[in-house]
């Protein structure tokens, strides 16, 4: 008889966002006339930049002509896109990243889970708390953890609390860990990291033979010129870090799907016999074996991000969502709520009022204001008592949602 991967049975009852959807659907069925405003998941709402749309349309037309038709492309991505990424996103900031170290994929969410394929099962893994749930759940699925306790923490993971007291930036662990997940600007708290702070992690990783998984999906929202956009702006990071990026939030590709992972050719880890093994060939083999590449049409759209028109349009899109974040912060602060993030980041991290739990605040907001957010406890035990609000929505919806919330929750 066929057997299953028992590790899936360790997962908590529902992944955070499907559970949110379940509660929202239940409410909507019972209240069909209610106008819901969803500020929960980080899905964009504004149209793709015109430069990207034009490039995609042109690429579709090319697919209709035998002379310009494209079938399978390079699994790693077309060179013309990888070269533009290397030049614009990394080399322009002093990062020694070459096009051949960049792998194009259909999502950084996928890659942060898939990267585990090339690492062993005995690594000690550190995650922040709260944390993007995918980091934890994919390790559970891969058999890297024990069972979860009553607070939702899994045996075998090292949890690094991020709280208001440490400015939502985790302290270096006192014990040795092998794999470290860092996300800046942070999801869910909106916190950012200085170069000095990231340098402490790079130094730790190099001293302990650790590898940092650096999720930079929201780097485009950084407006402070003193903040780093990439882990590779830190000296030595090529020898200890893998970086994940996405076109989803800066250029609105959540429904179009295009992202990238950087694996430096200088990065190594240990084999079971103690020898040093380069990670680039392992990831290249995994990528080519399990992935056929992002479509030519989508990659042409992503390439247009780096055109003069595309750069201006993407900047305008990012600024639009940052203005939404400012409105959310300003309105909630004026109502007496305590907020964090929302600057250099598209997420606002709200302290729930009057001692309400994260899910109680979610339900109250849904039922009284018809606004959907994300319970902080869904990101980990340390997220209890907080609530994430996303700036990804129309201005009209953001303005109305803030009016509804402040009417109901003035402190």
pLDDT over threshold 90, residue 42: no
CA distance 113 to 263: 15
Name the strands in the sheet holding 339-341, side by side, starting at the edge strand that comes first in the sequence: 339-341, 347-351, 386-390, 374-375
What Cα–Cα distance (Å) separates residue 82 from each residue in 79, 90, 103?
5, 11, 8
Q: What is the mean pLDDT of the chain?
A: 96
**Region 133-137: what's the mean pLDDT?**
95
CA distance 168 to 188: 10
Which band of pLDDT confidence, cut at 50, 70 and 90, is reported for residue 183? Answer: very high
Which band of pLDDT confidence, cut at 50, 70 and 90, is reported for residue 20? Answer: confident
List residues forming the annotated binding site for substrate.
15, 42, 109, 132, 187, 292, 388
Concatenating the DSSP letter of every residue in 62-103 gives HTTSTTT---S--TT--HHHHHHHIIIIIGGGT----GGGEE
Q: What is the pLDDT of residues 351-385, one digit of tens each?
A: 999 999 999 999 999 999 999 999 999 999 999 99
Q: What percent of the chain has pLDDT over 70?
A: 99
Q: What is the pLDDT at residue 14?
A: 63
Q: What is the pLDDT at residue 141?
A: 97
Lowest mean pLDDT among 139-153, 179-193, 298-312: 139-153
CA distance 352 to 375: 9
pLDDT over threshold 80, residue 224: yes
List residues forming the annotated binding site.
15, 42, 72, 108-109, 132, 187, 218, 246-248, 257, 292, 388
Q: What is the pLDDT at residue 54?
A: 98
Report the 10 Å Cβ neighbour count for 218. Answer: 26
Residue 395: both structure tokens together: 């201005």
CA distance 108 to 245: 6
Which band of pLDDT confidence, cut at 50, 70 and 90, is reported for residue 151? Answer: confident
Helix or strand (DSSP H, E) at 279: helix 279-290
Q: What is the pLDDT at residue 260?
A: 98
* 373 close to 401: Cβ distance less than 8 angstroms: no
Q: Is the pTM of this model over 0.85?
A: yes
* 129 close to 186: Cβ distance less than 8 angstroms: no
Which band of pLDDT confidence, cut at 50, 70 and 90, is reported for residue 411? Answer: low
pLDDT over threshold 90, residue 289: yes
pLDDT over threshold 90, residue 13: no
Who contacts 411 (Cβ-Cβ below 8 Å, separation ≥6)? 335, 336, 337, 353, 354
pLDDT over threshold 90, residue 18: no
Q: What is the pLDDT at residue 177?
A: 98
Q: What is the pLDDT at residue 152?
A: 87
CA distance 61 to 300: 12
**Region 45-61: what's the mean pLDDT?**
98
List residues forming the annotated binding site for pyridoxal 5'-phosphate.
72, 108-109, 132, 187, 218, 246-248, 257, 292
Q: What is the pLDDT at residue 16?
A: 77
Q: What is the pLDDT of residues 331-342, one digit of tens each?
A: 999 999 999 999
Q: What is the pLDDT of residues 301-339, one digit of tens each?
A: 999 999 999 999 999 999 999 999 999 999 999 999 999
Which band of pLDDT confidence, cut at 50, 70 and 90, is reported for residue 98? Answer: very high
Q: What is the pLDDT at residue 15?
A: 64
The owner of tokens 């038709």 is 69
What Cα–Cα distance (Å) separates residue 339 from each residue in 58, 177, 245, 322?
44, 32, 26, 15
CATH number of the domain located at residue range(s) 50-306 in this protein: 3.40.640.10
Topology agreement, domain 6-45+309-407 and domain 50-306: no
Could you give the angle at the alpha carbon of 339 between the alpha carbons of 335 and 343, nearest 5°? 120
Domain ranges of the chain: 6-45+309-407, 50-306
Q: What is the pLDDT at residue 139?
A: 97
The owner of tokens 């939404």 is 324
- Tell the CATH topology of 6-45+309-407: 3.90.1150
CA distance 322 to 341: 11
């Amino acid at each position: 008889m066929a057997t299953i991967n028992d590790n899936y049975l360790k997962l908590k009852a529902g992944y955070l966002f499907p559970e949110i959807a379940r509660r929202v659907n239940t409410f909507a069925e019972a209240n069909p006339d209610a106008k819901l405003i969803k500020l929960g998941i980080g899905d964009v709402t504004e149209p793709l930049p015109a430069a990207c749309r034009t490039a995609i349309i042109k690429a579709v037309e090319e697919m209709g002509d035998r002379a310009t038709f494209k079938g399978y492309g390079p699994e790693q991505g077309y060179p013309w896109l990888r070269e533009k990424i290397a030049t614009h996103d990394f080399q322009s900031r002093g990062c020694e990243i070459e096009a051949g170290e960049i792998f194009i994929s259909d999502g950084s969410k996928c890659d942060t889970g898939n990267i585990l394929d090339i690492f062993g099962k005995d690594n000690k893994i550190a995650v922040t708390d709260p944390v993007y749930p995918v980091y934890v759940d994919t390790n559970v699925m891969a058999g890297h953890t024990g069972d979860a306790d009553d607070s939702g923490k899994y045996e075998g993971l090292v949890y690094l609390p991020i709280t208001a007291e440490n400015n939502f930036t985790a302290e270096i662990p006192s014990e040795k860990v092998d794999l470290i997940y860092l996300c800046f600007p942070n999801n869910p708290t909106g916190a950012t990291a200085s170069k000095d702070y990231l340098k402490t992690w790079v130094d730790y990783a190099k001293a302990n033979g650790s590898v940092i998984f650096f999720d930079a999906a929201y780097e485009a929202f950084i407006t402070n010129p003193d903040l780093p956009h990439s882990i590779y702006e830190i000296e030595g990071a090529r020898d200890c870090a893998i970086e994940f990026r996405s076109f989803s939030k800066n250029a609105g590709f959540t429904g179009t799907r295009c992202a990238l992972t950087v694996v430096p050719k200088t990065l190594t880890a240990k084999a079971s016999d103690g020898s040093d093994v380069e990670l680039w060939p392992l990831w290249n083999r995994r990528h080519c074996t399990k992935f056929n590449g992002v479509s030519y049409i989508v990659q042409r759209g992503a390439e247009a991000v780096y055109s003069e028109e595309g750069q201006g349009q993407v900047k305008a899109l990012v600024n639009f969502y940052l203005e939404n974040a400012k409105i959310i912060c300003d309105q909630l602060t004026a109502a007496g709520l305590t907020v964090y993030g929302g600057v250099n980041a598209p997420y606002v991290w709200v302290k729930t009022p009057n001692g309400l739990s994260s899910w109680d605040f979610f339900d109250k907001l849904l039922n009284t204001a018809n606004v959907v957010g994300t319970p902080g406890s869904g990101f980990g035990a340390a997220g209890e008592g907080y609530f994430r609000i996303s700036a990804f929505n129309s201005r009209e919806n953001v303005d109305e949602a803030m009016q509804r919330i402040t009417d109901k929750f003035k402190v």
